[in-house]
Amino acid sequence: MPTVASRDDRRRAGSEARVRVPPAAHAGWRPAPDRPDPVALLEEQAATRVPDLVPIRYGRMAVSPFTFYRGAALPMAADLAATPASGIVVQLCGDAHLSNFGLFASPERDLVFDINDFDETLQGPFEWDVKRLAASLVVAGRSRGFDARATRHVVHRAVRTYRERMAAFAEMRAIDVYYSRVDAAGILAYVDKRARPFLQLAVKAAHHHDALHELPKLTAVDAQGRRRIVDHPPVITHLPEATPDVVTEGAAGYRESLQEDRRVLLDRYEIADVAMKVVGVGSVGLYAVVALFLGGDDDPLFLQFKQAEASVLERFLSPSAQPSHGVRVVAGQRRLQAASDILLGWAVGAQGRHWYVRQLQDQKGGAVVDAMTIEDLTTWGELCGWALARGHARSGQPAEIAGYLGDDPAFDHAIGDFAVAYADQNELDHAAFVAAIQSGRLVAESGV
């Protein structure tokens, strides 16, 4: 068993790290003279992706600085690697922008708010996730035309929530931190009344997103009486490389990654159809397969098999020690989330591709940025800060992080400065990206 340091020792270690790398060191952003070309970095990523889908990825990223930011995890990782590091390590989400948080159902069927994307998860400095979240709030605020001062206040509130929640987690028993969660009832009691209608709509929408709700939207009964996934090119298509046989080849490994009782559940379904489904922004171009399983009497189960590559953070941090990138994603998700999908698992396909698997829709509700008021964005940012602090407290040492953050707003203001400056950089990068499309260097399609 490892030696367990006392809470005071952990807090002292955090305070010492604060002296070595004070909060002010995180303020602002200035690109280095040898900063990598962000467009070139995105082109590098395209080399391992499905060629026909890369233009869709570019088209989605080109829409606005916010959609570009969502897909530009690699350029930002390169930039974060050049910034001062606290040295305090947690399990990073790796792509903690505001659209990668949301509502979903726990195994007990309660709605919880948490991080919901882990493609880039890896161990690293806790502040990388905080900076990614903070800058996304500024980028989103600008996309809505909000006042600069008000948007900066949004960031301060989010980072302050992270700091204050971390201080509270630092005083809790480790097992109580593990059991803590941000549930829907607690959210609605916590939020400002002006933001409550927005969150109530998100909660209501989440309740309606499940397999039964998706069945008539995604499938139809063919002439032979078989239920099949309906093609909607280019978003949903049946391709030769995405067939029931391909999924079946990897299903045995996936089944073994589940707990025994969940294998019993999975065995009550059989695969009926498989199709490629383009999802998100940053992950477009990787293989993403939706598989329809039926249990009889139109009892549907949709599983999503998503290809997992090396995290973009691995270029700049230690490589994952996990045996596959599917395992890396699942292990990171389980470390960070309060409650994970009961059918979350992994597999290695016949062609050596790494996959992670989860339910396609399980009462999920996300951020509709285009519908947000400034109060909505403020509240969403605070909830993201809360959930991120809880995840970091589970996977790291909350007393050490709390010791580093202190009980003053120095870190809040430093991250606010960084977020504004990096949002400026993101706008420049988006403009360069659009120019690359207009020049013919990149080919983009709408992919709607």
Distance from chain centroid for Cα 258: 22
How far is the C-alpha of 255 from the C-alpha of 200, rounded, in Å?
A: 36
What pLDDT is recorded for position 391? 97
| Residue 360 predicted with pLDDT over 70 | yes
| Residue 207 predicted with pLDDT over 60 | no
pTM reported for the whole predicted model: 0.94
| Residue 53 predicted with pLDDT over 80 | yes
Tokens encoding 5: 């340091």
State the residue for tokens 């009462």: 363
For the ranges 132-136, 356-360, 444-448, the lowest mean pLDDT is seen at 444-448
Please compute, for residue 15, the number of CA atoms within 13 A of its CA located in the half-sphere on the CB side: 9
Tell me how crowded residue 318 is: count the other CB atoms within 10 A of its CB.
11
Model confidence at 3, pLDDT cuts 50, 70, 90, reads confident
Q: What is the mean pLDDT of residues 26-51?
A: 95
Q: Domain ranges in the chain?
A: 7-208+367-438, 211-359
| Residue 375 predicted with pLDDT over 70 | yes
What pLDDT is recorded for position 295? 92
How far is the C-alpha of 60 from the C-alpha of 62, rounded, in Å?
A: 5
State the residue for tokens 């590091």: 85
For the ranges 112-116, 186-190, 331-335, 347-351, the lowest mean pLDDT is seen at 186-190
Model confidence at 278, pLDDT cuts 50, 70, 90, reads confident
Model confidence at 361, pLDDT cuts 50, 70, 90, reads low
Average pLDDT, the chain: 91
Model confidence at 18, pLDDT cuts 50, 70, 90, reads very high
Please compute, for residue 327, the number of CA atoms within 13 A of its CA located in the half-sphere on the CB side: 9
pLDDT tens digits for range 406-439: 999 999 999 999 999 999 999 999 999 999 999 9
Q: Report percent pLDDT > 90 for the chain.
A: 71
DSSP 23: G
Q: Cite the beta strand spans of 201-344 per DSSP E.
A: 219-221, 227-229, 236-237, 270-277, 288-294, 300-307
Q: What is the mean pLDDT of residues 184-207?
A: 71
What pLDDT is recorded for position 439? 97
Residue 316's nearest CA partner among 124, 130, 127, 136 is 124
